[in-house]
Amino acid sequence: MSKWTEQAMPDQSGRTILVTGANSGLGFVTSRELARKGAHVLMAVRDPARGEDALARIRAAVPKASIELRRLDLADLDQVKSFARQLIDDKVPLDILINNAGVMMPPRTLTGQGFELQFGVNHLAHFALTGLLLETLAKRQESRVVTVSSDLHRRGHIHFDDLDGAKNYGRIAFYAQSKFANVLFALELDRRLRAASLPVRSLLAHPGYAATNLQTSGPTGLLNLFMRIGNRFMAQSMEMGALPQLYAATAPQAESGQFIGPDGRTEMKGYPTVVQPIASARDPDVAAKFWALSEQLTGIKPSFATETSI
C-alpha cells in the first residue's frame, strides 16, 4: 500500500461501527472520520460529559454525522456484559467493532472484579465485548473486529503466575503485557473464525507513537513528564496515528490476521502498512492457553457456531 490516508476510505453508508474509547485521542479521530464517510458510529465512552463534548465537536466538523453515544466503563465487566446485551436487545446491526480504548501505565490499580487495571480494560473487557457481540457481527457482510495494540507488545509476555501484579508490578511491564495480550487474542480470534468459516475478519492495528492524552492520563511523576516531552517533540499527530486502525476497519484489501502499523523506521511514524508482531505472540499453543484463561476470568465463551448449525 502506498501512502494510504482517510481519503482512500470507501463509503461507509449503511454500516454501523462501534468504537470504544471514542471521546478522545485515536478513538475520537476514528469516530469522526468514519462518520465523515457515512457510517453510523456508536461512540462508547466512560464519561458521559466528555462524550457529549466529543459528540458536539464531531457534529461541528461533520454536520450530517450519524452518531450516538453509549456509556461503557471497561473497568467493570458487569457493565461490559450489560452494554453488549443492550445492543443485542436493541437489535443493532453491528458491522465493525473497533477495540480502541485503553489505559496506559497508571499506578497499580484494580478493576471492580479485582483485575489489574491495564489487563482488565485493555484485554479482558474487549475479549468479553467481542465474545458477546460475535454472533451479531457474523450476521453482517464484510464484518470486522479491529483490536488496537502497541509496538510495546514486543516487550510483553503473559505473567500467568502474577496477572494482577501483586508480586511484582511495573507500569511499563504490565502495559506491555496488556498489549501482548491484544495480539494473542486477535490472532487466535482469526484462527477460530477461519476454522468455523465465519464471515468476520479479525485484524490488529497500532498507531506508532501518536500524541494523545493516553500518555499523560495514566503515568505520574517523571514518567508523565517524559511522556509530555515525547508527545511534543517525537510523536506524530493523532490523525496519523488513527490511520492504521481506519485502514484495518475499512480497506477492502485488509485481510484477517493482519497487523497494520506505520511504515516508518521502527514503526514510530508513517502511513499504514502490514507489520509483523513479535514471534512469541504468534505461538498458537500460548494463545490457546491464554484464550481458555480469558474465558475463565470473564465468564464469556465466544460462540463460533455457524449460522446453519444454530
E strands along the chain, which residues? Answer: 16-20, 40-45, 66-71, 96-99, 143-148, 200-205, 259-262, 272-275
Instruction: Give pLDDT, residue 210.
Output: 82
Residue 175 annotated among the catalytic residues of the structure: yes
CATH numeric code, 9-296:
3.40.50.720
Residue of 169, 175, 247, 271 marked catalytic: 175
Q: Give, for all 310 residues of the chain, the pLDDT tens digit.
A: 569 999 999 999 999 999 999 999 999 999 999 999 999 999 999 999 999 999 999 999 999 999 999 999 999 999 999 999 999 999 999 999 999 999 999 999 999 999 999 999 999 999 999 999 999 999 999 999 999 999 999 999 999 999 999 999 999 999 999 999 999 999 999 999 999 999 999 999 999 998 666 545 555 654 454 444 444 445 699 999 999 999 999 999 999 999 999 999 899 999 999 999 999 999 999 999 999 999 999 999 999 976 533 3
- Only one residue has cell 461533520, namely 62
Residue ranges of domains in the chain: 9-296
Instruction: Give pLDDT, residue 222.
Output: 47
